[in-house]
A and B are shown apart, each in its own frame.
Chain A
Amino acid sequence: MRNRVLMNGNDAIGEGAIRAGCHAYFGYPITPQNELTAYMAKYMPEHGRVFIQAESEVAAINMVFGAVVTGKRAMTSSSSPGISLKQEGLSYLAAAELPAVIVNVQRGGPGLGNIAPSQADYFQATKGGGHGDYHLIVLAPNSVQEMHDFTINAFALADRYRNPVMILTDGRLGQMMEPLVLYKGPPPKSPPKPWSLTGARNRKPNHIRSLLLDVDALEERNLILQAKYKTILNELVGFDEYLTQDAQVLAIAYGSSARIAKGAVDQARAKGIKAGLLRPITLWPFPRARIRQLAAKVKGILVVEMSAGQMLEDVQLAVGERSPIAFEGRMGGAVPEASAVLTALQHLNKPTGKGARS
């Protein structure tokens, strides 16, 4: 395969997983991520790896559970309703500290919704989603290239932190085609996994478990998890900045919304407005400190999302009273228009900076 290729985002994730040494993939049909499952059906067996079309999203995430307890790398993918079905499995993976990669190619919701792109699963992805006190690491690509690159990184992070990693993307990024440079390096190095279930030969039996009936033991377990999440918060925050150096109005958006916001920022600059963009790359951990820093310097902040305002809440938590916050969002698979984002930026740039819709 040539190194610079034209691919859709779903395929780019699949090829990334293969190049990252993903040994097993388990999927179930749902639009708009079907290309990914079909890609894995075709290429995983060619590489001598495991592909199963599971009987449900529930079965698929639990097959991932089984695969990763052996120490091998594994992945599943789905779209919003299917990801809802995987939440129990995600809680179990997080509880047992198992490294796994989960892809959510989001679509319009709630309920069956539609198959248009959406970002309305942000709460579910970043706040836990399943039961109990846990976090996924959540990565938000905004191009086909990043779909590919982040997938490779996702496997590395999952192993490094022994934690499930979600790639939170949407139907637009999944379906669209862009040129990308394929990863040529070796798979990310896999750390030793002495906890894995390979048969108790010359060692005591290993157990993968999350049941701890003793209250003190379970609280102790939770404290260990929380300490790990704190480490991740300190080490992993990722974001991209565009023209923020002198920005007086700041757009904050991730994924495909960030592409639209970037266009609007350019248009605002052409009109003499000092606009900038902060694009979170990790949604959990969220770049709270950097946003707080920038909030003190700008006249106003505009959050752009394909949701009713979910990341907006994290921005509000970060910003507090430091800056007014406006919101431009569309729901149900609708996509914010650059013109609407531009208008909102212009509005924030007015001397008062008031009247923000948050």
Chain B
Amino acid sequence: MSTSRSRPKKADRIIYRRPLSLVDRPTHFCPGCGHGTAHKLIAETLDILKIREKTIGVAPVGCAVMAYHYLNCDISEAAHGRTPAVATGIKRCQPDRIVFSYQGDGDLAAIGMAETIHAANRGENITVVFVNNSVYGMTGGQMAPTTLNGQKTATSPCGRDSRSMGTPIRICELLNTLESPWHIERVALDGPAGIRKARKALLTAFKGQMEGKGYSLIEILSPCPVHMRLTPREAVRFIKEGMIPAFPLGVFRKEGKPVT
């Protein structure tokens, strides 16, 4: 067009584009699922810090396992729960690379609790992205360590009864009792503000790893509408009204010191 010369260059007008670290492919996730958003936030972080080419992700059993379809970086699977151990092996052998794990609540807080605690306690210089959606997703909505009291799942059909099934495990608070972690923060995908906070938290964690600060864990409260037995919109409300009261948001560990 003849008027184009007077307008800004086309590239300058782009205000949003798919992160380079995210593969251009529709996800297999259910409608309203938070994994797609969490993936995109990680991809944006890798882009912002320009570390895609030196990053290795570890994705364990569960909905998380398909991460290699969507994140445009080197990725290894891990056996269920062993994610921090695999990440430890990778990082110790390549200290100059950026290593993150991407784990669900079953993986991180049930079968992999030992690996979770000990990787944190060793202060491994890795970033743990913990997607807490209060249920086992891939296997069909069973009770997770983070299922709320009274929450109905495939294996707590009458609702989680704390007298026989325990209460939701608060991972950030638990790990904050250790001396070694550098950054621990809980965020929620409960709306645009929450998503922005999640991105900022991931940026802090990955940047810390680049600077050799040590272990960081970002817990992301995330919707799983299908297994929460809610519509996508209701699932977001469930995060706000159900999950956040049980899992308070905030920074628990900052610069290696507990936040009081």
Contacts and interface: CB of A to CB of B under 8 A. Distances in A.
Interface of A: 23-24, 26, 50, 52, 54-56, 58-60, 62-70, 72, 74, 88-89, 92, 96, 197-202, 205-211
Given A59-B114, A62-B79, A66-B88, A72 B93 contact: yes
A67 B94 CA distance: 9
Interface in B59-115: 65, 68, 71-79, 82, 85-94, 97, 114-115
A66 B88 CA distance: 7
Interface stretch (B48-56, B145-153, B200-208, B217-225): B48-56
Nearest to A55: B118
B115 A55 contact: yes
Contact of B93 (A24, A62, A88, A209): A24
Contact of A205 (B73, B88, B93, B94): B73
A208 B73 contact: no
Contacts of A198: 56, 74, 94, 97
Nearest to B98: A199
A169 to B, nearest CB: 24
A209 B68 contact: yes
Interface size range on B against A: 20 to 34
A69 B90 contact: yes
24 contacts: A50-B93, A54-B118, A62-B115, A63-B85, A63-B86, A63-B92, A65-B79, A65-B85, A66-B76, A66-B86, A66-B89, A66-B90, A69-B76, A70-B89, A70-B90, A92-B79, A197-B76, A199-B54, A200-B72, A200-B74, A205-B75, A206-B74, A209-B68, A209-B77
B28 to A, nearest CB: 10
Nearest to A67: B89
Nearest to A66: B89
A94 to B, nearest CB: 12
Contacts of B76: 65-66, 69, 197, 207-209
Nearest to A60: B85
B77 A208 contact: yes
B82 A26 contact: no
B7 to A, nearest CB: 36
A67 B88 CA distance: 8
A89 B79 contact: yes
List the 5 shortest-distance A-B pairs measured between CB atoms, nearest first: A66-B89, A62-B85, A62-B82, A66-B86, A67-B89
A28 to B, nearest CB: 11
B58 interface: yes
Nearest to A207: B68
Interface centre among B65, B73, B76, by most chain A C-beta atoms within 10 angstroms, is B76
B90 A207 contact: no
Given A66-B58, A70-B90, A59 B75 contact: no
Contact of A201 (B53, B71, B77, B93): B53
A342 to B, nearest CB: 48
Given A199-B53, A201-B53, A66 B68 contact: no
A200 to B, nearest CB: 5
A54 B85 contact: yes
Contacts of A70: 56, 89-90, 93-94
Contacts of A63: 85-86, 88-89, 92
Contacts of A64: 89
Contacts, number: 126
Contacts of A23: 93
Given A54-B85, A74-B93, 17 more contacts: A24-B89, A52-B88, A52-B122, A54-B118, A62-B89, A63-B92, A65-B85, A66-B89, A66-B90, A67-B93, A89-B82, A92-B79, A197-B90, A205-B68, A205-B74, A207-B76, A207-B77
Which residue among B54, B88, B92 has the maximum number of chain A CB atoms within 10 Å of its CB?
Answer: B92
Contact of B89 (A74, A88, A200): A74
B77 A211 contact: yes
B161 to A, nearest CB: 30
A70 B118 CA distance: 22
A243 B110 CA distance: 57
Nearest to A26: B89
Contacts of B78: 62, 65-66
A56 B88 contact: no
A281 to B, nearest CB: 30
B97 to A, nearest CB: 5
Nearest to B51: A199
A210 B73 contact: no
Given A205-B68, A205-B73, A199 B89 contact: no
Nearest to B121: A55
Contact of A200 (B52, B90, B94): B52
A50 B92 contact: yes
A108 B182 CA distance: 44
A200 B53 contact: yes
Nearest to A69: B76
A201 B56 CA distance: 11
Nearest to A51: B92
Contacts of B122: 52
A333 to B, nearest CB: 30
Contact of B86 (A56, A65, A205, A210): A65
Q: Which of A66, A67, A210 has the most CB of B within 10 A?
A: A66
